[in-house]
Structure 1
């Protein structure tokens, strides 16, 4: 048996509807909101007044193309709340604070001397304090991207990219250290969310974000939603030990590529990409193999989930000028329904962007009820 619908519930529903409409359609007047929502003017007015009292909306300038009558326009107050976004890498903890529009108010890239959890917690606290001081705003929630499988039930890190983080209770320990709710998520999942929010995946309901570095990780967006899998392990498609970046299933190809690598002056993959742009034959061989490897991963993903777009990111994947065309060509030969292939529009900011988007989704879900009830 369901509970009775109370007057308070109806009012809360109306206020929430008006707030969401203002976020979607601002600048907007009281009369426009009532028409847009099919709501009576008194009901719309009460909701707007409640939102004004809670500091969630504000009067905004009249748009230039507005009719000549004298009306007051409203928009959401972007500074009503903020979120903290964190991206834990092997050498840096990248962080930012963003407002409700997703505008970054302050950013900080703090070196980490190790990924030992105690050190990570200390650096995270320092980053939070510095960003709060810079913005004058205490975040409502923090979202952190970590390389590894994040158990969706416990927030514990498994199969961590950094050995010291194996078994790290990221959600619980960071929540205690930062003194605010924390969302712990796989970093490539967050990159996919970011790309779908403000990158090349915007408006694409089914796509895969491939992060290509020492290995290949994937973030899957299916039906417009991030797909994590039962254990948070969706997208863990390749684990390649450091120093074995170029590898295939063919011993002959492995031997050839090992020979190319051994008899070159290349130390890093960045040097390979630079040399390839200068038409160095050895580097071009290595890039061609890497493109084929990426295409094979993309083809396997496409065969299972039939995405319409593959987004390339990560330290190697961002070299789109060298990789996109050969990946497309190989993928066209491997898949009956090849998806489009594009390079990430967000670059190294993809993870932080996804962390901001994830934090905002959480904050906005409860913001109206919390703030309006606080001033009622």
Structure 2
């Protein structure tokens, strides 16, 4: 805090407002004295931050409790219906949404399958699902408020440029550019940011999954494609142009340089070699293995080896604390093979590998977390613009001692 005091008052006010909002989100309603104790801020700093947040409407005074006598003590809480954000998972065969408030709590979820593979169709599906979620939340409140979706983050299984709007590399998906972003923003009526799906799966693992508490970790996801989400020192690592984690073409000892190690094309080739249908998916191969199909077992042996070799290659460069396997890679027939291969063949690297416990919800939950964070930043910017006067040590509007 000493460093902040030496600089502009704007970062300091933002720091205070963030600390107060976090405290109220975690344990509200609280008195200002409670907030000061929870944050370590002075009472004057808390008073100024509370006033600025009340000025935005995101923090409100709670009604006094029935057991309070005499002069009521002012208590404050986050108005979770002040504005909501939307996490969207735009997968190849479905659209999922999760409506989230400024505290990070998911308020409603919905999903639609068999959506046409066009930006317009996907955007319309997301908007319809969002409207249904908003109606569901409003119906549970009395009186029903007017709820506004103010921010959205959409996960896509492709490379997204650093601008959060441009799709860079899109084999088998859209043609690239900003068409999907523009369609989503138009349909949802709020600012939208695109993000790679496995980057957002990493965000979910960091907040709610097996990577909670890990500073540097890598999520390896295998489904329609093969990719990674990378967190370094607690921060998502996207790379200079958004392409970090595109690992499907990393060199493999048994593959020609530049050939796909894992993905739709390589899986088709493996299926042919083992007598399986050309269009078999990883999910179907794992399903077959769970039913005792020996041919599927042979295919998974090869797939697990490639996943393990990629993990070893990443470890030699990054040395993360943990690898998290997600999507089909988290299922026991594949996860157990990967863990066993690394323990037996690359034991010198001493890699820690865990399957995700979040399941197929990781991407949409990560998008919801990111959307909630964006909403919070909007709130903090609005709080900074509220004129609350200079900070001082007076106990104006404070509860009685």
Bin for the TM-score computed over the shorter chain: 0.7 to 0.9
What's the counterpart of residue 302 of structure 1? 315
Partner of 1:65: none
Measure the CA separation in 2 of the matches of 1:241 and 1:295.
Answer: 15
Aligned residue for 1:339, secondary structure, equals: coil
Deviates more, 1:25-34 or 1:204-213: 25-34
Contact 2:61 2:74 in 1 (8 A): no
| Partner residue in 1 for 2:81 | 79
How far apart are residue 220 of structure 1 and its match? 0.6
Q: How big is the shift at 1:55?
A: 4.0
Cα distance, 1:72 vs structure 2: 6.0
State yes or no: 1:331 paired with 2:331: no
8 Å contact 2:268–2:278 — kept in the other structure? no
Asked whether the equivalents of residues 223 and 283 of structure 2 are also in contact (C-alpha less than 8 Å), the reply is: no
Give 1:199 deviation, angstroms: 1.1
Q: Tell me the residue number matched to 1:157.
A: 167
C-alpha offsets along residues 149-178 of structure 1, whole Å, 9 cap, x if unaligned?
111136211222533343344334432332
Q: Given the alignment, which residue of 125, 130, 133 partners 2:132?
A: 130
Find the aligned partners of 1:266 and 1:165 in 2 and give their Cα distance: 23
Matched, 1:242 2:269: no
User: Offset of 1:128 from its aligned partner?
Assistant: 3.1
Give the alignment of 1:109-188 within 5 angstroms: 109-136=111-138, 137-153=147-163, 155-188=165-198
User: Which range moves more in the overlay, 117-126 or 355-364?
Assistant: 117-126
Q: CA deviation at 1:362?
A: 1.5
Q: Alpha-carbon deviation of 1:234?
A: 0.6
Instruction: Please report how far the alpha carbon of residue 95 of structure 1 lies from its aligned counterpart in structure 2 after TM superposition.
Output: 1.0
| Cα distance, 1:110 vs structure 2 | 2.0
Find the partner of 1:29 among 28, 31, 36.
31
The root-mean-square deviation of aligned C-alpha atoms, in Å, is 3.3
Compared with structure 1, are the counterparts of its residues 39 and 202 closer, same or farther at alpha carbon in structure 2 (3 Å cutoff)?
Answer: closer
The residue that corresponds to 1:293 in the other structure is 306
Residue 20 of structure 2, aligned match among 7, 15, 18: 18
Structure 1 residues 10, 277: CA separation in 2 closer, same or farther (over 3 Å shift)? Answer: closer
Gaps of 5+ in 1: 63-69, 248-253
Contact 1:215 1:245 in 2 (8 A): no
Q: Distance in 2 between matches of 1:206 and 1:372?
A: 32
Distance 1:172 1:365 in 2: 22
How much has 1:43 moved relative to structure 2? 4.7
Per-residue deviation at 1:346?
Answer: 1.4
Q: Across the two proteins, how many residue pairs are aligned to each other?
A: 355
Q: Which moved more, 1:20-29 or 1:191-200?
A: 20-29
| Structure 2 unaligned blocks of 5 or more | 1-5, 66-71, 139-146, 249-259, 389-401
Equivalent positions of 1:260-299 (< 5 A) are 260-262=274-276, 267-299=280-312
Going from structure 1 to structure 2, the CA distance change for 1:127 and 1:335 (only over 3 Å counts) comes to same
TM-score when scaled to structure 2?
A: 0.77
In 1, the alpha carbon distance for the partners of 2:87 and 2:164 equals 20
Change in Cα spacing, 1:94 to 1:308, as seen in structure 2 (3 Å) is same
Closer, same or farther: CA 50–162 of 1 in aligned 2, 3 Å: same
Which of 214, 220, 238 is the aligned partner of 2:230? 220
The alignment partner of 2:264 has SS state of coil
TM-aligned CA deviation for residue 39 of structure 1: 4.5
CA distance in 2, matches of 1:309, 1:246: 30
Q: Secondary structure at the match of 2:116?
A: coil
Please say which of residues 191-200 and 51-60 is displaced more in the overlay. Answer: 51-60
After superposition, give the CA deviation of every residue in 1:52-73 in whole Å (9 maximum; x if it has no partner): 46342554999xxxxxxx9665
Deviation for aligned residue 1:279: 3.6
The structure-2 alpha-carbon separation of the partners of 1:306 and 1:83, relative to structure 1 and needing over 3 Å to count, comes to: same
Q: Distance in 2 between matches of 1:347 and 1:61?
A: 42
Q: Which has the higher contact order (CA 8 A, sep 6+)?
A: 2
Which residue number in structure 2 is paired with residue 67 of structure 1? Answer: none
Instruction: Return closer, same or farther for 1:148/1:267 CA change in 2, 3 Å cut-off.
Output: closer
TM-score using structure 1 length: 0.81
How many Å apart are 1:274 and its aligned residue?
3.4
